[in-house]
Amino acid sequence: MKVYTSAVVIIPPEGKWAPIQEIRKIYDRQINRWMPHITLLYPFRPENEYNRLEKEFSENCKQISQFEISLNKFNYFPHGKGRYTIWLDPEPNTLIINLQAELLKIVPDCNDVNKFKKGFKPHLSIGQLMGKNKLYEVINDLQKNWNNIEFLLNHIYFISRGDNKTSKFEIIKQISLQE
């Protein structure tokens, strides 16, 4: 069984959060629920299954080499009716997609993020906007003032939150990739 109070994610090191959080304070209504992250699996298994899953995930991740991620470019998803999500595009996309595919082999039903028209698209959400003109203006402004963020992807995380509407996601398990 999968639940919406649980996910597997990539989280940039906290020392890299400041510029991301400055943008999210302005645009992201979910800033108090989610830390900056790139979703790999969501919804995921309930927290009471984490100990059982940790071994399999650890074995798989030990076969996947660590790699550098760069957050340099802004993009967006259209949701219809003039609604958009703006996000940072993590590179290299292919390595993140391959990592997610390996994890999906363990829990194949946790594939909700793969069901979009264009499949799984790694992204770090930074906010929501209304209106195409506003969207282009904001993205151009953000891009012009952005300094690339790079970090080593050496862990993935199992995160979980309580059931109530205001509960925040917290890191429960950290799984290491191959050094």
Q: Give the model confidence (pLDDT) of 23-69 as tens digits.
A: 999 999 999 999 999 999 999 999 999 999 999 999 999 999 999 99
How far apart (Å, rounded) are the C-alpha atoms in residues 11 and 54?
17
How far apart (Å, rounded) are the C-alpha atoms in residues 179 and 176?
8
**pLDDT for residue 118 is more than 90:** no
Quote the radius of gyration of the chain (alpha carbons, Å). Answer: 16
Q: Per-residue confidence at 97, pLDDT binned at 50, 70, 90?
A: very high
pLDDT at 117: 82
The residue ranges of every structural domain in the chain are: 6-176
Q: Which tokens is 159 given?
A: 């995160």
How far apart (Å, rounded) are the C-alpha atoms in residues 52 and 46?
11
Domain 6-176 has CATH 3.90.420.10: no
- Give how far the C-alpha of residue 83 lies from the chain's centroid of Cα atoms, to the nearest Å: 20
